[in-house]
Amino acid sequence: MARTAGSHSDITGPRVRAAALRLFARHGFAAVSMRRIAGEVGVQAGALYNYTPDKQTLLFELMQTHMEDLLADFARLESGADALARLEAFTRFHIDFHSSRPDEVFIAYMELRNLTPENFAVIESLRGAYEDGVTAILRQGQAEGTFALPDARIATRAVIAMLNGVNTWFRAGGPLTLGQVGDIYWDMVRKAVSA
Amino acid sequence: MARTAGSHSDITGPRVRAAALRLFARHGFAAVSMRRIAGEVGVQAGALYNYTPDKQTLLFELMQTHMEDLLADFARLESGADALARLEAFTRFHIDFHSSRPDEVFIAYMELRNLTPENFAVIESLRGAYEDGVTAILRQGQAEGTFALPDARIATRAVIAMLNGVNTWFRAGGPLTLGQVGDIYWDMVRKAVSA
DNA sequence: GTCTATACCTAGATAGAC
DNA sequence: GTCTATCTAGGTATAGAC
């Protein structure tokens, strides 16, 4: 427990981010103090400033990392298939990815208004890129004649909003596996966009 | 402008709630101070305590009023029709109601974690009652054979989550009327639950 | 790298004058 | 009913010792 014995930069840094993530998700950015984050990590508040220039940057980097991870994994999905297969892959991917990172997802959606305008613009652009990827699948399906949608952009948002809802109720270890949840939502998504 | 001239309880009270509503929605409950609300109203901070015992109660009553209004209007929807007609009426009602009260909706979904446990339980129970009403429609459709749903409760949440998404992008005066938005979402909802 | 100490500010809420 | 003044607590961030 010799916390003052030496250097821990490679250990403390991740622990600071993990504690901030957890606390921001539970109580909200504005309601969590630097002192409380420090207490969670086991250091004094001043020590946090070895790892972040300020609280705002701590929030921003958590959100930025999350969105970049999301985009990177999304980009790995098969892009050569037909739109129906791609949409199913997306549906299951989105559910899996988001349910594996509930705290990150919660923050990314709830704390946008606590970002500075510059930081907000960065996150919004990442979110827009993700939406663009989904819209591309829907437009492909329109071109192939399998999807019937009055507005692909609105359908994109509707599908994403529906899938995001999973995180408000799903808990691992509950009556349903994630695969079963994927089946249920894919059934609804498929029918919702079908011609 | 004689703010100190006399009594304004019937004017100031609603103005306090309106200012709190607006500021909580824009910046979040924890980020808004009583001084700022008072500044918006044009009084000093101490004067707010003529209208609310504390900041928590101010938040809670905004959310409670919103949820009770929602339930009251929902209860007025036609209940004698078939499930398809009832679900369409619900879809259009939900979109109309929520888009007419963006600040209330935002607060009701974002500030749950800032409620005391007792207040949270009240709001959650109101939200549960609303979900129950939608689930009843879906179960009726299952019984009538028009809807095919693996799980009516999950479908309820999926439909509500999808419809709630409207508030993140719809703006009155934009390219679409609310009626057109209702058409687009009803198309997706209807297909998503259909047999 | 972390500590203690602290500068400086703002928070929610209350008291008593008017 | 509102004001001014104030209490007590806690906020972010920094300085300098170790």
**CATH of residue A38:** 1.10.10.60
Q: Under DSSP, is residue B51 helix (H, G, I), strand (E, B) or coil?
A: coil
C-beta atoms of A28 and B30 within 8 A: yes
Pair (B35, B63) in one structural domain: no
Pair (A12, A107) in one structural domain: no
The total of other beta-carbon atoms located within 10 Å of residue A76's CB is: 8
**Contact A134/B at CB under 8 A:** no
pLDDT at A10: 79
Q: Which of A28, A150, A162 sits opposite B114 (nearest CB)?
A: A28
Mutate to test the interface with B, among A120, A181, A191, A193 (most CBs of B within 10 A): A191
C-beta atoms of B164 and A168 within 8 A: no
Who contacts B195 (Cβ-Cβ below 8 Å, separation ≥6)? B145, B146, B147, B148
Helix, strand, coil fractions of chain B, as percent rounded to 5: 75, 0, 25
Residue B3: pLDDT above 80? Answer: no
- Mean pLDDT, chain A, rounded, equals 95
Pair (A32, A80) in one structural domain: no
Percent of chain A surpassing pLDDT 90 = 93
Structural domain total, chain A: 2
CA of A36 to C1' of C9 (A): 19
Chain A residues with beta carbon closer than 8 angstroms to that of B183 = 150
pLDDT at A1: 40
The answer as to whether A1 is a domain residue is no
Chain A residues with beta carbon closer than 8 angstroms to that of B185 = 158
List pLDDT tens digits, range B108-146.
999 999 999 999 999 999 999 999 999 999 999 999 999
Residue A3: pLDDT above 70? Answer: no
Domain that holds residue A47: 8-52
Residue A17, both tokens: 């981010």
The answer as to whether A85 is a domain residue is yes
Residue B6: pLDDT above 60? Answer: no
Which of residues A16, A35, A52 is at a domain's end? A52
Residue B1: pLDDT above 80? Answer: no
CATH of the domain at B93: 1.10.357.10
The answer as to whether A3 is a domain residue is no
C-beta atoms of B154 and A191 within 8 A: no
Determine the Cα–Cα distance for residues A174 and B136; give it in Å rounded to an integer: 23
List pLDDT tens digits, range A83-121.
999 999 999 999 999 999 999 999 999 999 999 999 999
pLDDT band at A9 (very low <50, low <70, confident <90, very high): low
Closest CA to A106 of B154, B153, B113, B170: B113
Q: Could you list the protein residues whose CB lies below 7 A from any atom in strand D? A: A 32-36, 45-46, 49, 53-56; B 3-4, 7-9, 12, 38, 42-47, 50-51
Q: Which of A113, A192, A194 sits opposite B28 (nearest CB)?
A: A113
C-beta atoms of A185 and B158 within 8 A: yes
Q: What is the 3-state secondary structure (H, E, C) of A153-175?
A: HHHHHHHHHHHHCHHHHCCCCCC
Determine the Cα–Cα distance for residues A187 and A104; give it in Å rounded to an integer: 27
Pair (B181, B112) in one structural domain: yes
pLDDT band at A5 (very low <50, low <70, confident <90, very high): very low
List pLDDT tens digits, range A30-77.
999 999 999 999 999 999 999 999 999 999 999 999 999 999 999 999
Closest CA to B161 of B127, B114, B137, B191: B127
pLDDT band at B10 (very low <50, low <70, confident <90, very high): confident
Determine the Cα–Cα distance for residues B167 and B19; give it in Å rounded to an integer: 20
Q: Where do runs of H (alpha helix) occur along chain A?
A: 9-27, 34-41, 55-75, 83-99, 102-110, 117-144, 152-164, 166-169, 178-193
The answer as to whether A35 is a domain residue is yes
Chain A residues with beta carbon closer than 8 angstroms to that of B188 = 155, 158, 192-193
Helices (H) and strands (E) in chain B, counts: 9, 0
Pair (B47, B70) in one structural domain: no
Residue B172, both tokens: 């009155």
Residue B169, both tokens: 């992008």
Are the beta carbons of A51 and A106 closer than 8 angstroms? Answer: no
pLDDT at B9: 67
List pLDDT tens digits, range B25-54.
999 999 999 999 999 999 999 999 999 999
Q: B57 exposed, middle or buried (CB, 10 Å; 0-12, 13-18, 19+)?
A: middle
Chain A residues with beta carbon closer than 8 angstroms to that of B112 = none
What does residue B147 show for φ and ψ, rounded to 5 degrees?
A: -110, 145
Q: Where do runs of H (alpha helix) occur along B6-116?
A: 9-27, 34-41, 55-75, 83-99, 102-110
CA of B114 to C1' of D3 (A): 30
The total of other beta-carbon atoms located within 10 Å of residue B68's CB is: 12
Percent of chain B surpassing pLDDT 90 = 93
